[in-house]
Amino acid sequence: MTSSDVPRTGRCFGDGNPVYEQYHDEEWGRPVHGENALYERFALEAFQSGLAWITILRKRPAFRTAFADFDPELVAAFGDDDVARLMADAGIVRNRAKIEATIANGRALRDLHASGRTLDQVLWSHAPDRSTHTRPVTWADVPAQTPESRALAKELKLLGFRFVGPVTAYAAMQACGVVDDHLATCPAVAGD
């Protein structure tokens, strides 16, 4: 079955929730570049681990405030007082390991920049060859991880990043448009 044989229906996710709909329509699967934007996506994917994505989307404004708009240089300078502040912030997910990982990742990103590289370069260097890509028909056709996400997770860990396993790496790849897993029936891919 080709995507043209599949009748168009609603979004592949998010229908009925304005926050989810906006994220689906305006962000998910679209290419993201820029260090702060990528750092934010990786941080939010880590915070999402074990939770519903809508929880993270609803808390996104509070996350941005709490983590200095995901400026990695500023977050890299966070110390114990900031961890305590974040653990007391009911607007975000108060998970010490995830908070500390986000700070550690800001430091790893700062070190990556000092070496002359960017997160943008690292992420996009793991983009799969999509020349023969077949758009998924159902969510069962979408992998949780891929060889590319395993390689990305391995490289990020070697660079000092935390909470970046292959599943989280793949979710970030989807969120940043490195892969586009919109389902064949999704209006976001009409005319694809």
* Active-site amino acid positions: 23, 45, 53
Distance (Å, whole) CA 4 – CA 17:
27
Q: Which amino acid is at 11?
A: R
Distance (Å, whole) CA 178 – CA 176:
6
Q: What kind and span of H or E run contains 19? A: helix 18-26
Q: Does 186 belong to an annotated binding site? A: yes
Which of the 8 DSSP states describes residue 8? P
> With the CA atoms of 55, 108, 122 and 20 taken in that order, what torsion angle do they form, in degrees rounded to the nearest 10?
10
Q: Does 182 belong to an annotated binding site? A: yes
Q: Does 126 belong to an annotated binding site? A: no
Q: What kind and span of H or E run contains 108? A: helix 96-114
Ordered DSSP codes for 134-151:
---SSGGGS-S--HHHHH
Within 10 angstroms of residue 85's Cβ, the number of other Cβ atoms is 12
Q: Which segments are annotated as binding site for Zn(2+)?
A: 24, 182, 186
Q: Which segments are annotated as binding site?
A: 24, 182, 186
